[in-house]
Structures are given as C-alpha cells and as structure tokens.
Structure 1
Amino acid sequence: MWRIDLSARGEAGGRAILSPDERARAERLVNAKARARFRRARIALRRLLSEYLRVPPGELALEYGEHGKPRLVSARADDGAGVEIPFFFNLSHSGGLALCAVGQFGEIGVDIERIRPLSYPGPLARDHLSPEEWRLRSDWETAAARPEFFRIWARKEAILKAAGLGLSRPLGRVDTIRGELDGRSWWLMDLFPGEGFTGAVACSRAPESVRQWSWPS
C-alpha cells in the first residue's frame, strides 16, 4: 500500500510517460490544480508499477473495465526467477493525497476520501447506508457523525472498485459491516492516510500481510 503526496514536484519531467488517453483525461478536468493532481497520481502509479514489473513506466499498457477500473493488459509480474505471478493494483486520489494498492492475492480496490465539511451527513446517510450501518449510531443528523460517514463511504467504494463495478451499484447494497456485496465476501481494512482523510482497501482474498509506504519516500 502506497500513500502518494500529490503536492510533490516532478510532474513536468514525468508527463512523457503518460499515455495519450491519460493526458487527454487530465485536460478535461475543470481547473489547473485538479489537472496537476491527476497527472501526478498517474505518473506515480506508472513509476510504482514499473518498479514491481521491471518495465519502463512509459511502456506499461493499461486497459479499462466496463466501469472504468484500470488494469494491466498483461496482469503478470516476474518473481525474479522467470516465473510469472498474478499482479493486481488500484488507485484513488482525493485532494492532495492518493493511495495505490498493489498485491498478488486477488482483485483489489482502494478508496481515499477527504472528510469534507458537510454541515451534517444525515441526508446522504439515509440514502446510501444499509439498515445495519444506519443502526451503528443515532446521531447521523449531526456533524459529529461526519468522520464515520466518510469511513463507511470509503469502505463501500473500495469493495465496489475491487469488484470492478465503480458506482454502478447502489451504495446501500454494500454491507461494510460484514464486507459483502451481492452475497460475496470481501476482505476489508481501514486506512488512515492523513489528518482530514480516511480510506479503505478491499481484496477478494485476505493478504498474508499489509505493508504501507509513502511516495516519494
């Protein structure tokens, strides 16, 4: 698991490794800060994948699932002895931070959320929490519930991204208490990327261990 600081310099020197599609997506964003953060997140992603896969970052070929989940055209890594092993990754960014999850244990999804200054999360909680999640606390109509609401939201998105579904499923169908979506179980872990942020990672299989690093280190 990698925490990526999107305020770090180095974007200009890395633009050349982005694909035409990535550069076009950046240009469609509404303001310069959002464009810069998108490019920095993708540059970091390519450089990280390059280290794992021993492929130059500009030569990594990515494709996208039906609901936009990025994946490697050849999702295999070399174990150093010439044996190919499965390789999975996912990326999420919010504000000035990003999270990149990489692993070999199955489909993976990660989400980071900036805890935004909602006056209170009640209306969104009513629309998107499952009945069991709603019963976790009685104060959803207050600002005190805001961190918990975004924690649950990150867990929901992590599961949906691991499943390759994005937001094509109603969030209320994701049970973050049991880690289930449509009857399928997912391994879940909360992440704490920085003050004012929350995050989560989901995987189709429980990993043997989870290690966390920062980029650039």
Structure 2
Amino acid sequence: MTAVWWAAPLPPEVAPGLVALLDGHERDRLDRFRRAADRARYLAAHALVRLVLADAVGTAAAALVFDRTCRCGAQHGKPVLPGGPGFSLTHAGDLVGVAVHPGGDVGLDVEQARELTDLPAMSAHVCSPRETAPDAQAFFTLWTRKEALLKAVGTGLATPMSAITLGPSGVLDWTGEDAPRDPLWLADLCPASGYHAAVAGTGERPAIVEERGDALLAGQAR
C-alpha cells in the first residue's frame, strides 16, 4: 500500500519541535530560504516525512539518516532512507505532501491551479509530439502526472516531459536513453479544492490511501 499524507505549512517560529527533528543539512537548507512561505513549506514537508518514516521503520524521527548522494557524488541528490521504504515530497501553495511506498520507488507532485498566460509555450514544453495541447485545467493534470513519473524514476526535470506520452491507462511511450525499463504505475489524487496531484512508481500499482498529517505535525510542533 502507498500512503500519501497532506498537511498545511508551518512556520519555524511556531514549531520549534519540528525544527529539532531536522538534521544539519535540512536546517541549513531551511535557514537559506528568504521567503517565510518557503520556510514553512520546507519545514512541514521534511518534518512530516520524518514522522511518517519513523513510524514505518520503528525509530525516532530525529534519528533517521538519509543518503543524498547525487550522480555526481555530492550530497545534494534525491534523499533515500537506506533500508527503508521509498518516499517523495512535494509542495504548492498552502499544501505539502509526502508519499511513502514500501514496494519501491515513488514520485509525488502537487500543483495549485492558477491562470497561465503562456499556456501554448508551457504545453509545448510538456506535451510529446503524440499528445494534444491541453486546456488550462487539463494542463495541470498532465504536468503533475509527468512530474510524479520523473520523480519516481529519479531523473527529475533533467529528462524533458515531452519524452513521455501518456494515455488513459498510463504511460504509452517514453523515449530517450534514460527511459525506464521497469513497469510504471500512475494515479491522480484529490488533495484539496483548487489543487491537482499525482503519484507514480515502479512495479505493479498498489492500493493508495490519502491521509491528513496536520495532527502528526501539531503533536511534535512544541
């Protein structure tokens, strides 16, 4: 089963207990954000993933040690919990999300619906040659699906979204040297009104549950 947790951002100044859960790398990243909204989203997402993973592996949230080894060898890549389940973080607007998938790699993305003044250009960036340019609402669905897939396979936006062709049942085609060979699954989510979200992973599609994580964060905030 894949669990997806949603929560509201929390400013560090009102949640010192959550700041205490973070490691040195995370606290350094938190301190470098200039905008209060970015700090609140970062803190809530990274504290929430620690709390959820701690429960999954039976250890203290602050004791979790992540491997962030990038392809270049530096510690700034996608975080992985050695020996633990796959997980993915995302945030947009007043929402942060965490997906945890014991069966392997997972990717989660959320976007807040908004007006797009450059929809044709954005569609050209997202759509493959076989896909029809979407309207504004369909655009966000397409974006979150492809972003979730890219997070799941670990390439992120280093791989162009236009390399992926989607159909009603999932991925129809994926071109390029880094195209994954493993089966992929994909599902749309409903986190809140005005938001689009999707979760994806490798292997067979699991059962997916969505939960609210605000109470978990509130219980550790002070």
TM-score, reference length from structure 2: 0.81
Matched, 1:95 2:93: yes
* Percent of paired sites with the same residue: 30
Matching residue of 1:71: 80
Residue by residue over 1:30-54, the C-alpha shift from the partner in whole angstroms, topping out at 9 and shown as x without a partner, is: 3122112211211111111111111
Matched, 1:113 2:119: no
Is the CA contact (8 Å cut-off) linking 2:11 and 2:39 kept in structure 1? no
Note the C-alpha offset of 1:190: 0.6
Matching residue of 1:21: 25
Question: Following the alignment from structure 1 to structure 2, what is the Cα–Cα distance between the partners of residues 29 and 51?
Answer: 28
Note the C-alpha offset of 1:70: 1.4
Is the CA contact (8 Å cut-off) linking 1:118 and 1:146 kept in structure 2? yes
Is the CA contact (8 Å cut-off) linking 2:67 and 2:79 kept in structure 1? yes
Is the CA contact (8 Å cut-off) linking 2:30 and 2:39 kept in structure 1? yes
Matching residue of 2:62: 58
Q: Which has the higher contact order (CA 8 A, sep 6+)?
A: 2
One of 135, 145, 163 as aligned partner of 1:155: 145
Alignment partner of 2:162: what SS? helix
Matching residue of 2:8: 5
Question: Following the alignment from structure 2 to structure 1, what is the Cα–Cα distance between the partners of residues 27 and 206?
Answer: 36
Is the CA contact (8 Å cut-off) linking 1:92 and 1:112 kept in structure 2? yes
Amino acid at match of 1:17: L
What is the aligned residue count?
198
For the structure 1 residues 160 and 212, does the alpha-carbon distance in structure 2 shift closer, same or farther, using more than 3 Å as the test?
same
For the structure 1 residues 124 and 195, does the alpha-carbon distance in structure 2 shift closer, same or farther, using more than 3 Å as the test?
same
Matching residue of 1:81: none
Residue by residue over 1:116-160, the C-alpha shift from the partner in whole angstroms, topping out at 9 and shown as x without a partner, is: 221351111012211222x2x5xx4xxxx2121111111111111
Alignment partner of 2:204: what SS? coil
For the structure 1 residues 60 and 159, does the alpha-carbon distance in structure 2 shift closer, same or farther, using more than 3 Å as the test?
same
RMSD: 2.0
Which deviates the most, 27-36 or 195-204?
27-36
Which deviates the most, 207-216 or 185-194?
207-216
Amino acid at match of 2:35: N
Question: Following the alignment from structure 1 to structure 2, what is the Cα–Cα distance between the partners of residues 92 and 189?
Answer: 15
Residue by residue over 1:43-91, the C-alpha shift from the partner in whole angstroms, topping out at 9 and shown as x without a partner, is: 111111111111101100012242732111x223xxxxxxxxxx21111
Note the C-alpha offset of 1:194: 0.9
One of 146, 157, 175 as aligned partner of 1:167: 157
TM-score, reference length from structure 1: 0.83
Structure 1 unaligned residues grouped into runs of 5+: 77-86
Question: Following the alignment from structure 1 to structure 2, what is the Cα–Cα distance between the partners of residues 148 and 8?
Answer: 32
Matched, 1:37 2:41: yes
Structure 2 unaligned residues grouped into runs of 5+: 72-76, 216-222
